[in-house]
Structure 1
Amino acid sequence: MKIAVLRETLEGERRVAATPETVKKFMALGANVAVEAGAGATASIADADYAAVGATVADRAATLAGAEIVLGVQGPSADALAGVAPGAWLVAGLNPFADRARIDGYAAAGLEALAMEFMPRITRAQSMDILSSQSNLAGYKAVLDAAGVYGRAFPMMMTAAGTVSAARVFVMGVGVAGLQAIATARRLGAQVSATDVRSATREQIQSLGAKPIFVENVAGIEGEGSGGYAGEMSPEYQAAQAELVSGHIAKQDIVITTALIPGRPAPRLISAAQVASMKPGSVIVDLAVEAGGNVEGAVAGEVVVVNGVSIVGYRNVASRLAADASALFSRNLYNFLNAFWDKEAGKPVLDAEIGDAIRLTQGGKVVNARLLG
């Protein structure tokens, strides 16, 4: 069994799909590992570090030749996988809803494409969940990005020259990223509040020492809590939330939005009028900007200033912590393949529960129900 690890080519992508730690573990399973030269450079991993644990470091063509499993952070084009035999696995974050033509290309090439972001939210798959591991880092980095743009201190400071008030931070969307944002802002000394459409998150917010801001007595989302994700809000809930948020957001110094709905554009949480209600010098970080954005006026890849309010729309936030993000991502991939490794076959063999959930293409066809429905 040969496992190939590719160098990422997407602009701004600094992560790598395997580290020397996971390469060593794959080799302990009996696999041979080939790493494309320079694959780990932007994550502070030298080619020599891979070679030191027994990996072969080569150009892309040699890396892919004979590979039965190809690992990536983001899925390359089918053309970039030339030389891979039909039936080989491509294991990566494949962004299936946004680029269907690329998925069709995998099918045409005979690849078995496995989308790691489709991993079910079940107990035994937690260690394989790339969305959780990367969102955790994104939530942390969002607060640091906000602090870097915000022109004031986070904690309350009592000095001989007077008192500096604590920053007010409001987190909208309390999934993995939101919870880490709350915890990080609290550690920096901010006064933190948070909201979510899922009522079950109230206790989580409180457990981190933040104040929950919730719409009361209004029907919430459709399919609340399904798969651990939020669904789409009812019109009544959207109106009530907009009214509640408008009053609260005007008092905040920093707002971090994290709301995503799988397979759909990110919900709009903050309007231009709400942005205008904030004080000059305030900061909004939109972690959903690449999915259409939670904030009106946010621009992917840019920091824009509207009426003195900075709207931060950095892309691929987890990648901006490339070393740690790569370490976690690569462990997710190893945990996945190791969980299904059949020693007698010398390769992983998927079961139906997880295989059917993450398999996009097989036998020259697109087979995933979420893409066919």
Structure 2
Amino acid sequence: MHIGVPLETRAGETRVAATPETVKKLIGLGHQITVQSGAGIAASIPDSAFSAAGAKIGDAATALGAELVLKVVAPDEAELAQMKSGTVLVGMLNPFDSDNIARLAERGLTAFALEAAPRTSRAQSLDVLSSQANIAGYKSVLVAANHYPRFMPMLMTAAGTVKAARVLVLGAGVAGLQAIATAKRLGAVIEASDVRPAVKEQIESLGAKFVDVPFETDEERECAEGVGGYARPMPASWMERQAKAVHERAKQADIVITTALIPGRRAPILLHEATVAEMKPGSVVVDLAAAQGGNCPLTVADQVVIRHGVTIVGHSNLPALVPADASALYSRNLLDFLKLVIDQEGRFHLDLEDDIVKACLMCEGGRVLRNNAGAASSAAAPQEKKEKV
């Protein structure tokens, strides 16, 4: 197959969908690869590195006009206009953006959104959400340390002792756990909260204290357990108790990192303005949910603002701040997915009996096949969205 790797044109997007490592492997399988000139520059991969791996360097029209196009994010109108009907598109296409998926279908693309992959053991190697969330969690701590006006670790000097920073992490999924681990390496004292009681052991194993909000009803306990890595939105009674616990911990914290996302919906509010108003001057909040409205109502997407003396960081694409490793991990995710849709003869093969392929397929032959990341778009009733944790 002819596989194209275009330059990402979205503002602030520095990642690339292939690296010399994955290009070499795809060429070894008999494919022809065209990488748009400059596609890897922001990720510290010059054109010469792709050429050395066997790829051809071409323009946008050639890369987007390939049989199979690998992207980081969904194509914009200008990119879509250069793609042919019948092209196979693989990337992070935002399966909850129904307008975007409809545009891809109208163009006649066969599009796969890797964010929709089931959260199963078999799909772990192509789990783009986890690979990129891991990077976001790591970078969130470094960004916080950069804005924090004091040291992170405890220091004993001739001029006196400096206390260790206190870090509160809200949400202990992939990003949250990596944030805990990174903050611990920097010497901070860490507390973490999550709706799932099962993560208490993981939090404590990384050296953080678990902020426990006990369950009072079976409904609360059932919602917290969730299914397949997701939990349903918690009842109001539990959220009120958690808000009180978070309020007290945040007042004592120097850095708060929030990570809660609900796919397809606005992010839940975890850190209220009243809480920020009582935080210590110079404190820092890094909101990983900024792109979905934020876990704090004071967050402004893609901006750093100061409210009530607290610095609130709203970077919406933290993985793009670590483009070399983010691209390396993402491209390996793509490579593992391609193994499911390319047969041994090197031809595209759509196997709808494969649960991963079926979940990721958004549109094919001009038809939208999936809506809201897995619910059939025809007559099926909408499924309850789950909270990513």
TM-score range, shorter chain: over 0.9
Give the drift of 1:53: 1.4
Alignment-derived partner of residue 121 in structure 2: 123
Letter in 2 for 1:256: I
Aligned equivalents of 2:76, 2:283: Cα separation in 1: 40
Alignment-derived partner of residue 241 in structure 1: 242
Letter in 2 for 1:359: L
Aligned equivalents of 1:107, 1:223: Cα separation in 2: 36
Letter in 1 for 2:237: E
* TM-score (norm. length: structure 2): 0.92
Q: Are 2:269 and 1:259 equivalent residues in the alignment?
A: no
SS for the counterpart of 1:70 is: strand
Alignment-derived partner of residue 192 in structure 1: 190
Give the drift of 1:163: 1.0
Aligned equivalents of 2:177, 2:82: Cα separation in 1: 43
Aligned equivalents of 1:343, 1:179: Cα separation in 2: 38
**What's the CA shift string for 1:139-192, capped at 9, x where partnerless?**
000000000000101111112221111100000000000000000000000000
**What's the CA shift string for 1:7-66, capped at 9, x where partnerless?**
10100000000011100011111111111111111111111111111111111112233x
Aligned equivalents of 1:223, 1:308: Cα separation in 2: 34
Distance 1:216 1:223, change over 3 A: closer
SS for the counterpart of 2:9 is: coil
**What's the CA shift string for 1:224-248, capped at 9, x where partnerless?**
3322123211111111101111111
- Deviating more after overlay: 6-15 vs 242-251: 242-251
Alignment-derived partner of residue 314 in structure 1: 315
User: Please, what is the CA RMSD of the aligned residues?
Assistant: 1.5
Equivalent positions of 1:320-335 (< 5 A) are 320-335=321-336
Alignment-derived partner of residue 71 in structure 1: 70
Alignment-derived partner of residue 172 in structure 1: 170
- Deviating more after overlay: 355-364 vs 265-274: 355-364
Give the drift of 1:79: 4.5
Alignment-derived partner of residue 215 in structure 1: 213
Aligned equivalents of 1:83, 1:282: Cα separation in 2: 47
Give the drift of 1:345: 5.3
Letter in 2 for 1:50: F
Letter in 1 for 2:123: A
Q: Are 2:270 and 1:269 equivalent residues in the alignment?
A: yes
Is contact 1:78-1:102 (8 Å) kept? no
Letter in 1 for 2:86: G
**What's the CA shift string for 1:304-355, capped at 9, x where partnerless?**
1112111111120000001110011111101111244311353354443112
Alignment-derived partner of residue 287 in structure 2: 286
Aligned equivalents of 2:147, 2:83: Cα separation in 1: 45
Aligned equivalents of 1:248, 1:53: Cα separation in 2: 51
Aligned pairs, number = 371
Letter in 2 for 1:44: S
SS for the counterpart of 1:347 is: coil
Alignment-derived partner of residue 94 in structure 1: 93
Alignment-derived partner of residue 18 in structure 2: 18
Is contact 2:195-2:224 (8 Å) kept? no
Letter in 2 for 1:285: V
Aligned equivalents of 1:206, 1:255: Cα separation in 2: 18
Distance 1:296 1:83, change over 3 A: closer
Give the drift of 1:77: 2.6
Is contact 1:342-1:348 (8 Å) kept? yes
Is contact 2:30-2:346 (8 Å) kept? no
Structure 2 unaligned spans of 5+: 383-389
Letter in 2 for 1:368: R
Give the drift of 1:357: 0.6
SS for the counterpart of 1:18 is: coil
Distance 1:276 1:49, change over 3 A: same
Give the drift of 1:361: 0.6
Q: Are 2:104 and 1:103 equivalent residues in the alignment?
A: no
Letter in 1 for 2:366: G
Moved over 4 A (4+): none
Give the drift of 1:123: 0.6
SS for the counterpart of 1:294 is: coil
Percent of aligned positions that are identical: 52
Aligned equivalents of 1:207, 1:234: Cα separation in 2: 28
SS for the counterpart of 1:227 is: coil
SS for the counterpart of 2:332 is: helix
Distance 1:226 1:83, change over 3 A: same
Alignment-derived partner of residue 356 in structure 2: 354
